[in-house]
Amino acid sequence: MSSSRTSDVLVVGGGIIGLVTAWRAAQRGLATAVVDPEPGGGAAQVAAGMLAAVTELHYGEETLLALNLASARRYPDFAAELTELTGHDPGYRRCGTLAVALDADDRAHLRELHALQRRSGLESEWLTGRECRRLEPLLAPGVRGGLRVDGDHQVDPRRLAAALVAACERTGVVLHRSWAERLTVVRDRAAGCVLADGTALSADRVVLAAGSLSGRLAGVPDAVLPPVRPVKGQVLRLTVPKRYAPFLSRTVRAVVRGSHVYLVPRRNGELVVGATTEELGFDTAVTAGGMYALLRDAHELVPGITELPLTETRAGLRPGSPDNAPLLGPTALDGLLLATGHYRNGVLLTPVTGDAMAHVLTTGELPEEARPFTPRRFGAAAREEQPV
């Protein structure tokens, strides 16, 4: 059976990015629908939820830094607004982060990061190993120094996703719990999509926000297909029994022999340990090797973790883009917009993405802060401009 239901905006993908886009669009009076078999699922069910604009700074990503910082600044109001609207607290916690080094190579790496942070005008303080242990007494005696970053906080992505589903429901967003099978294009314009059961949904604008699956929707012309690929991250969860609390008071992270490891403590006793970075296509298997690497590195940082119950192992897929930055706004196909490619920063960038997408959907223009992230930077014209 096939029917057609019409909206102003149809969002394909109900992860946190699709949901925040739909919620903000509906708040601005647009009739909005979301297509996803499991709204609130996806990478947010795996992510640790670090809001790490400063500790995850990389060379050459200054433009992205500005967007990351803009989003981090919005988090307190964003979380409060969601809580007030829905009664769901997304678990925003102003805990700060300590990035530590265990050997001379890691220490040199951290020193370089510190210099880059300072050049970028960011707050970050170098601490000796002893000062690190004074802040976090369970750190290994071998910690050689670290960076105290009091502005990198955390949110609980699962609670955030639940709050966004509730916010969409409260704001009148229609949730189609189904797979989008194909984009509909009519006279060179995106016009809706067809669901797995054959239902046709029509819309004035379609936003493709399907995370790592964004490059796979049938019917999207090759020229505007987002250059997004899955980057696997394995994560495990430990539980801190009440008698050990507080185990860690802030996020603790390190690069151990070149691999990132982080431990994110929640108020409810959950301790999230992540994450691997693997280019293996759409594989989401949890592997012995992945868990071994995480536990080995986390144990070097905080030996006491071996006492904690291991309560969950999971793998998710980050939507990687060619420059590690998101793709936001209109494509070269009329009526088709993107909100995808957030890679390591999807949770952090949720507030600013919602604002940017609602702005472009109502005015036709991206706000200033989001303009560098237009998908057109990867279009055919942009490719022709590249030096060979």
- Site for ligand GLY, rule CB under 6 A: 50, 56, 233, 274-275, 318, 344
Tell me how far, at minimum, the Cβ of 355 lies from ligand GLY, in Å: 21
Asked if residues 107 and 145 have their Cβ atoms less than 8 Å apart, the reply is yes
Give me the half-sphere count of Cα atoms (radius 13 Å) on the Cβ side of residue 235.
24
Tell me how far, at minimum, the Cβ of 47 lies from ligand GLY, in Å: 7
Is the CB of 40 or the CB of 233 nearer to ligand GLY? 233
Asked if residues 295 and 236 have their Cβ atoms less than 8 Å apart, the reply is yes
Is the CB of 122 or the CB of 173 nearer to ligand GLY? 122
382 Rama class: left (phi>0) / alpha (psi -120 to 50) / beta: alpha
Measure CA 52 to chain center.
Answer: 11
Which residue number has the CB closest to ligand GLY?
344
Asked if residues 325 and 307 have their Cβ atoms less than 8 Å apart, the reply is no
Distance CA 214, CA 318 (A): 11
Is the CB of 50 or the CB of 201 nearer to ligand GLY? 50
Is the CB of 110 or the CB of 336 nearer to ligand GLY? 110
Phi, psi values for residue 270, rounded to 5°: -70, 140
Is the CB of 22 or the CB of 50 nearer to ligand GLY? 50
CB atoms within 10 A of CB 4: 11
Is the CB of 176 or the CB of 344 nearer to ligand GLY? 344
Phi, psi values for residue 313, rounded to 5°: -130, 140
Asked if residues 132 and 252 have their Cβ atoms less than 8 Å apart, the reply is no
Tell me how far, at minimum, the Cβ of 320 lies from ligand GLY, in Å: 10
Tell me how far, at minimum, the Cβ of 56 lies from ligand GLY, in Å: 6
Distance CA 206, CA 227 (A): 18
